Amino acid sequence: MNKPGYANQEFWIRLVFMLIYWCLLNLALTVFGFLVVITTIVKFASKCELSSLTYWVRSTGVFVKQIVSFLSFSTEEKPFPFQPWSDKDGE
């Protein structure tokens, strides 16, 4: 007979990580919002694009996506720092 979820030690470990990543998600969304505002102002005020700023907006968005996937039980893989910081759009 299988034990219920709360009797499983992995359940409690995941719950702790979920609480930590929930806090990190709130911080990451705040940083993402500031970066989006700064990027919008830079693009509005000048014709040049800052590739480093675009990189940080994109990679922060990927990090938020990874956290949401972990929190929604879509994946068991923990995001950064347990995975490398992603340079790609979908990972």
For 48-59, write each residue's pLDDT tens digit: 778 888 899 999
The pTM (predicted TM-score) of the whole model is 0.79
Range of lowest pLDDT (6-10, 16-20, 35-39, 60-64): 6-10
Is the Cβ–Cβ distance between 32 and 64 less than 8 Å?
yes
Mean pLDDT on 15-28: 94
How high does pLDDT run on average in the chain? 85
Rounded to whole angstroms, the Cα distance separating 11 from 26 reads 23
Confidence band for 90, pLDDT divided at 50, 70 and 90: very low
Is the Cβ–Cβ distance between 64 and 29 less than 8 Å?
yes
Is the Cβ–Cβ distance between 35 and 57 less than 8 Å?
yes
